[in-house]
Amino acid sequence: KAGVTQTPRYLIKTRGQQVTLSCSPISGHRSVSWYQQTPGQGLQFLFEYFSETQRNKGNFPGRFSGRQFSNSRSEMNVSTLELGDSALYLCASSIDGRFSYNEQFFGPGTRLTVL
């Protein structure tokens, strides 16, 4: 079974631009979560999508948004980029059994650099 894939792997943008990151979950996985990873901050939860609906949301400004398609693929968008948005953005998918734990399988991440 193919793992979680993220595209692109690397991105360089300038302040004020917007960016869209893509995540394809493992086949059969219906939950997709997004995280921002920065040195010293660890992984900060952005949001989680399930069946095309945002089910959980972290404490990030509205410039960060996402969506999920009917095939469970997800995109994350950051508008009006700031220098502080430079980070590794990780996507993770899980099967989602609501009454059981859900191991999250991570993608390789997208390294975003904002100049």
Partner 1 sequence: AQTVTQSQPEMSVQEAETVTLSCTYDTSESDYYLFWYKQPPSRQMILVIRQEAYKQQNATENRFSVNFQKAAKSFSLKISDSQLGDAAMYFCAYTHSTGNQFYFGTGTSLTVIP
**Which positions lie near partner 1, rule CB under 8 A?**
3-4, 31, 33, 35, 40-45, 48, 50, 55-56, 58, 90, 92, 94, 96, 98-109
User: How near is the Cβ of 75 to partner 1 at its closest, in Å?
Assistant: 18
Closest C-alpha among 94, 91, 85, 92 to residue 110: 91
Indicate the residue type of 111.
R
Length of the chain in terms of residues written: 115
Closest C-alpha among 11, 6, 19 to residue 73: 6
C-beta separation of 5 from 107 below 8 A = yes
Of 81 and 92, which CB lies nearer to partner 1 in the complex structure? 92
User: How near is the Cβ of 16 to partner 1 at its closest, in Å?
Assistant: 29
Of 67 and 79, which CB lies nearer to partner 1 in the complex structure? 67
Query: H or E segment at 31?
Result: strand 31-38
Of 19 and 49, which CB lies nearer to partner 1 in the complex structure? 49
Q: Which residues lie below 8 Å from residue 1, measured CB to CB, with a gap of 6+?
A: 26, 27
Of 79 and 108, which CB lies nearer to partner 1 in the complex structure? 108
User: How near is the Cβ of 69 to partner 1 at its closest, in Å?
Assistant: 18
User: How near is the Cβ of 37 to partner 1 at its closest, in Å?
Assistant: 9
